[in-house]
Amino acid sequence: MAEEQSQISEMSFEQALRELEGVVRRLESGDVPLDESITLYERGEELRKACQSRLDAAQARIEKIVAGTDGKPAGTQPFDADGNA
């Protein structure tokens, strides 16, 4: 498992998301034996956590800078504070 985690940490967000989508497709197919399904589910959960962590980090970076009316950074506010997502 530690080897898998290090591999996930080396993936880009896009690579991890693609693999997660593949895991979901395989699980949804219903053609996977129970033991393999459990292993796939565990891998999928690790990939989901990695993707969520990267999304959270990206949102935190976005929240750091908010431009004022003059175009210069004026402070911080949450990314979706004015209703934009």
Please report, rounded to a whole number, the percentage of residues in the chain having pLDDT higher than 90: 58
Q: Is the pTM of this model over 0.85?
A: no
Strands (DSSP E) contained in 1-85 are: 66-67, 73-75
Q: Is residue 39 pLDDT above 90, yes or no? A: yes
Residue 69, SS3 per DSSP: coil
Task: Return d(Cα 18, Cα 54) in angstroms, integer.
Answer: 14
Question: Pseudo-torsion of CA 49, 52, 65, 82, nearest 10°?
Answer: -140
Host domain of residue 41: 2-75
**CATH classification at residue 63:** 1.10.287
In tens, the pLDDT along 13-31 reads 999 999 999 999 999 999 9
Q: Which residue has the higher pLDDT, 17 or 72?
A: 17
pLDDT at 6: 59
Backbone angles phi, psi at 12, to 5 degrees: -75, 165
Report yes or no: 79 and 61 within 8 Å, Cβ to Cβ: no
Please report whether residue 83 resides in a domain: no
Count structural domains, the chain: 1
Q: What is the mean pLDDT of the chain?
A: 83
